[in-house]
């Protein structure tokens, strides 16, 4: 079967993958969003279905006031003797820790903390029972054996690699393949210079023999390729004996277009040379299309559709910005609706606004909702938002202008804030819609879904990590409500949300 990359669209970066018998599990970074660390299941390593999140409680993940693209970085999932292990870093709130579970769908334990320095931790369970902990520290990879019952290191962390193709080295994973130890790392930063490198040794401590064709993956020399920034990967042997490489990458439709979807999860086949080195994809290039065998009971990834908010719990695709307040949202206050109670927190604040969103996972999409909201004053607003960070977001909202109910389009681009358009609407439900291409977003609103007012557009590139600077996420499309400094006097009730391709 021909598979189109990315394997999982939208900002699902830093994939870590394991196989347990004929089941596969995949986790990715989640940064400042909650619940943290989405986890997926597959029967064939190709078709994935989200089964939950690893970190679902505040006791597991403290994200309050964390900066954008801080929070949870680069998790690694492992399985040993009936237990699943997830190790990761909470940047700015405690450092490196791991949690455990007997069922990967959860519940997972509270954290066992290891240390505060560095990031990108990984675990390796050796055949003799020794467990190794490694991570980035400065510009080197360090390692120590660890007591998994307590999280205590059994000796001081020791440098084992200072880079093979670059002094910027991270994302280490140690494997034992055919009796030899392999160290795979990401190098060159997670943007245009990104790559993956490999070395091997007869000892988990080295010395390391570098792969003669390092880097084993990179697109840094392919400026016109539709996939860029590839690296930070995981090697997995499938149950049929074949080998596969999972990694992050970004998509661009044009040479100068931007990666608004963020860093996504890609797949490439692996073959091994007669000398025992991996060749990934097309000699280190991640292909747009992959031929792969698929299970008869393959489970599709959540592609979108309509959510009528009839369930007692949110679907797994929905996420909050940082740890949410229970007072800000409800599925039970008005059955069949998602209720958001606008707090004083706005989308411009480094806090948790009344916001629920999902990752944008395709360039051509349509997001729409039906909103019941009767604001009293102009500071009260609710609607749809395209959110990258607190400094980069667009929204179409119901509010009050000139004493009348209105729909407005607003844009925040760095230190520039502008309200670009407005139309009056009648009391009662309001339909809001956003469509997109790889170049622009278009906004529509009104009381009649068949005659909505076009309310202008916004360039997609202004919601890109390339423009926002230090930003490792992608656009999240969501519903929100805010009193912009005051609590809203009335709730915002969203009857449904629909997300489809166009």
Which residues, 6 or more positions from 260, have their beta carbon under 8 angstroms from its beta carbon? Answer: 360, 363, 388, 438, 460, 461, 463, 464, 474, 475
Euclidean distance between the first and final Cα of the chain, in Å? 25
Residue 140 annotated as catalytic: no
Preceding amide of 284 cis, omega within 30: no
Do you know the residue count of the chain? 502
Residue 374 CA: distances (Å) to CA of 207, 377, 382:
68, 9, 10
Active site residue 374: no
Rounded Cα gap, residues 285 and 290, in angstroms: 12
**By the 8 A CB rule, do 413 and 462 touch?**
yes
3-state secondary structure of 21: coil
Q: Burial code of 98-124, b = ≥16 C-beta within 10 A, e = fewer?
A: bbbbeebebebbebbebbeebbbbbbb
Report CA torsion sign: 321, 325, 328, 330.
positive
**Three-class secondary structure of residue 98 per DSSP:** strand
Give the DSSP H/E element, type plus range, for residue 467: helix 465-468
Output the DSSP codes for 264-303.
EEEEEEEEE-TTS-EEETTTS---SEEE----TT------
- What gap in Å lies between CA 83 and CA 76, rounded to an integer? 14
SS3 465: helix
How far apart are alpha carbons 165 and 186 in whole angstroms?
10
Residues 493/330, Cβ–Cβ less than 8 Å: no
Query: Which one from 120, 170, 187, 493 is the annotated catalytic residue?
Result: 170
Cα torsion angle, 78, 80, 86, 87, sign: negative
Beta carbons within 8 Å of 381's beta carbon, 6+ residues apart: 342, 375, 395, 397, 398, 399, 408, 481, 482, 484
What's the token pair of residue 457?
């557009």
Q: State the Rg of the chain over Cα.
A: 23
Asked if the peptide bond before residue 130 counts as cis, ω within 30 degrees of 0, the response is no
Active-site positions read 14, 170
């Amino acid at each position: 079967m021909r598979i189109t990359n990315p394997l999982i669209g939208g900002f699902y970066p830093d994939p870590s993958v394991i196989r347990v018998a004929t089941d596969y599990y995949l986790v990715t970074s989640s940064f400042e969003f909650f619940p943290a660390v989405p986890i997926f299941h597959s029967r064939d390593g190709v078709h994935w279905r989200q089964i939950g999140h690893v970190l679902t409680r505040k006791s597991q993940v403290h994200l309050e006031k964390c900066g954008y693209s801080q929070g949870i970085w680069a998790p690694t999932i492992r399985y040993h003797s009936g237990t699943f292990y997830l190790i990761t870093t909470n940047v700015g709130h405690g450092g490196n820790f791991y949690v455990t579970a007997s069922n990967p769908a959860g519940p997972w334990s509270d954290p066992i903390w290891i240390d505060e320095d560095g990031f990108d931790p990984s675990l390796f369970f050796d055949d003799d029972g020794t467990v190794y902990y490694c991570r980035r520290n400065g510009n080197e990879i360090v390692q120590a054996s660890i007591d998994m019952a307590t999280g205590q290191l059994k000796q001081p962390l020791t440098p084992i690699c200072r880079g093979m193709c670059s002094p910027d080295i991270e994302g280490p994973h140690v494997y034992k393949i055919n009796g030899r130890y392999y160290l795979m790392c990401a190098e060159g930063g997670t943007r245009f210079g990104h790559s993956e490198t490999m070395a091997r040794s007869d000892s988990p401590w080295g010395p390391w023999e570098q792969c003669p064709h390092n880097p084993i993956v990179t697109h840094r020399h392919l400026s016109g390729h539709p996939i860029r920034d590839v690296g930070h990967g995981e090697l997995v042997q499938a149950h049929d004996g074949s080998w596969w490489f999972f990694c992050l990458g970004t998509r661009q439709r044009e040479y100068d277009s931007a990666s608004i979807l963020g860093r996504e999860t890609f797949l490439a086949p692996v073959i091994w040379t007669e000398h025992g080195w991996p060749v990934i994809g097309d000699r280190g290039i991640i292909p747009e299309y992959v031929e792969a065998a698929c299970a008869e009971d393959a489970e599709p990834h959540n592609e979108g559709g309509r959510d009528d908010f009839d369930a007692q719990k949110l679907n797994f695709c929905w996420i909050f910005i940082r740890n949410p307040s229970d007072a800000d949202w409800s599925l039970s206050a008005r059955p069949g609706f998602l209720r958001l109670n606008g707090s004083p927190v706005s989308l411009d604040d480094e806090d948790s606004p009344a916001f629920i969103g999902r990752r944008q996972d395709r360039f051509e999409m349509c997001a729409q909702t039906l909103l019941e909201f009767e604001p009293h004053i102009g500071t009260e607003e609710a609607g749809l938002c395209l959110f990258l960070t607190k400094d980069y977001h667009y929204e179409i909202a119901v509010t009050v202008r000139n004493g009348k109910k209105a729909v407005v389009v607003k844009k925040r681009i760095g230190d520039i804030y502008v309200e670009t358009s407005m139309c009056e609407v009648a009391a009662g439900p309001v339909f809001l819609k956003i469509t997109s291409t790889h170049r622009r977003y278009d906004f529509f609103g009104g009381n009649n879904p068949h005659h909505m007012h076009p309310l202008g557009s916004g360039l997609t590139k202004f919601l890109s990590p390339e423009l926002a600077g230090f930003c490792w996420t992608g656009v999240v499309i969501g519903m929100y409500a805010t009193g912009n400094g005051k609590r809203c006097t009335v709730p915002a009730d969203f009857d449904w949300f629909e997300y489809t391709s166009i």
